[in-house]
Amino acid sequence: MSTKGYKILVVDDDEEDRLLLKDYILEGLASKTSVIDCVGEFDEAITALKRQRYDVLLIDYRLGTHSGLELIDHVKAVGAHSSMVLLTGLGDEELAVTAMKKGVRDYLNKNRLSAELIRTTIVNAITLSEAYYLRSLAEDALKRSEANYRELVTLLPVIVVELSVNGIPTLVNDYIKGIIGYDKEEFILSKDWQEILPVCTDGTFEDFKDRLLSGDIKNEQLCVKAKDGRIKTLSLNARGRHNLNNVNQPELSSIICIYNDITEGVELRERLHTQSIMDELTGLYNRRGFYTLAAQQIRLANRYERSMLLFFLDMDGMKTINDSYGHKAGDRALVEVANIMRDTFRESDVIGRTGGDEFIVLVPDMDIIDENAIRVRLQENIDAFNDTSDAPFDLSISVGVVRYSYKNPMELDELIAKADSLMYAEKSKKKAAR
């Protein structure tokens, strides 16, 4: 990595996406970034890579007549050492697995981007690349000289453990104490060293060896209890050293395990996720989180020519609940409504509490599903709560629904205002009918 700051290349064929990604990078990493280049085509990316060495490449899966995977293959083929992150709006797990196998450090769904997520992803990608670089140094030293290898291992800022094929530690560097608090002698002499530093979350050591015969184990996340009782999150990379005497049936001669402490990055990602975009009471997205994700969905709907529904919901009688039963009951009512909404809508829908007793949901890909079917399911879930709950109150919700069409695009605020108006019209009808 450059000592003057991160050098980042954004490769995306959508100009709006490029600008948004650049804004996110500047918002999250302005003080740590010296170069942000943005290109829209495969050939432009190739030219940029020839001109500049980048720390991180943010690559969109769709690049006109090419794909992001093709660019990833090119980067690997020319021996560039940039960390790569694949961006896509598809949410395809199979694609994510393919990208990871090609050496991508992370995979981000463009529907869920934020400045905080971009920041932590870039920092973690660079950290992982540095860990891989250190590991490659260690492995090269091993090939040159076992003595030089052992000397280098003691200097690495990661835990390095060498195991015999029988599962006995034969080498561990001093950094184990700095990460989990155990001396290396204490670890090696332990009756069950896997209680201190496991190699897998499930299965036996024999299962672990079988996996290594099929290839390296990369970036396997493990939770480890340090000597002082704190829980540490470690990333394990393991490689088997093979006995080459029997080519037809390869055998392990020893195992090298490298543990990188990623606790701070994991905790930061979770803390940012919770604090910046989530509503603490209900666990739904807060206003900021909803607007960020909904804006992304609108842009994707326009790009892929899809329709959406926006539901604006307001609780009826919230003031009465607070006045009659207290604010704890009011908080419970909000939580129960949030639970009903989770049961009503899909995991892929963007559900938020935008303030007070107001909730909002953006439902993508609504070309087929009927709005009335969702309304019926929502009312059934409300009725089920009222019939079975021991709460001293009943729940009632007024709803306004607006369909978004890529053929007639509008801003998110305009869409919400229309749904809000329809919601109040429904609420007025309820009051008039009493």
CB 352, CB 286: distance < 8 Å: yes
> Crossing angle for the helix pair 263-277 and 287-304, nearest 10 degrees?
90
In a domain, 325, yes or no: yes
Q: What letter would DSSP give residue 192?
A: T
CB 54, CB 8: distance < 8 Å: yes
Query: One digit per residue, pLDDT tens: the chain, 434 residues?
Result: 444 578 899 999 888 888 998 888 888 887 777 788 999 999 999 999 888 888 889 999 888 888 889 998 888 888 777 888 888 876 667 787 888 888 888 888 888 888 888 888 888 887 777 766 666 666 665 565 455 555 555 556 788 888 888 888 888 888 899 899 999 888 888 888 888 988 877 778 888 888 887 778 888 889 999 999 999 999 898 888 876 555 556 677 888 898 988 888 777 667 756 667 889 899 999 998 899 889 988 988 888 788 899 999 999 999 999 999 999 999 999 999 999 999 999 888 999 999 899 999 999 876 666 789 999 999 999 999 999 999 999 999 999 999 999 899 999 999 999 999 999 999 999 888 76
Q: What letter would DSSP give residue 104?
A: -
pLDDT score at 275: 67
Give yes or no: residues 281 and 254 share one domain. no
CB 296, CB 113: distance < 8 Å: yes
Q: Which residues of 20-57 are buried (b: 16+ CB within 10 A; e: fewer)?
A: bbbebbeebbeeebeebbbbbebebbbebbeeeebbbb
Give yes or no: residues 286 and 415 share one domain. yes
Q: What letter would DSSP give residue 245?
A: T
Give yes or no: residues 293 and 423 share one domain. yes
Last residue of a domain, one of 247, 267, 287: 267
In a domain, 147, yes or no: no
Q: What angle do CA 106, 32, 127 make, to 5 degrees?
A: 35
78: domain range?
7-135
d(CA 364, CA 371): 12
In a domain, 149, yes or no: no
Give yes or no: residues 354 and 425 share one domain. yes
Give yes or no: residues 108 and 167 share one domain. no
Instruction: Give φ, ψ of 35 to 5 degrees.
Output: -140, 125
Say which residue the tokens 């704890």 belong to. 328
pLDDT score at 136: 64
Angstrom CA distances, 59 to 20, 77, 110, 275, stand at 14, 16, 11, 28
- Give the chain's domain count: 3
Say which residue the tokens 């002082």 belong to. 228
227: tokens are 């000597």
DSSP E strand stretches across 304-390: 308-315, 350-355, 358-363
What pTM does this model have? 0.43
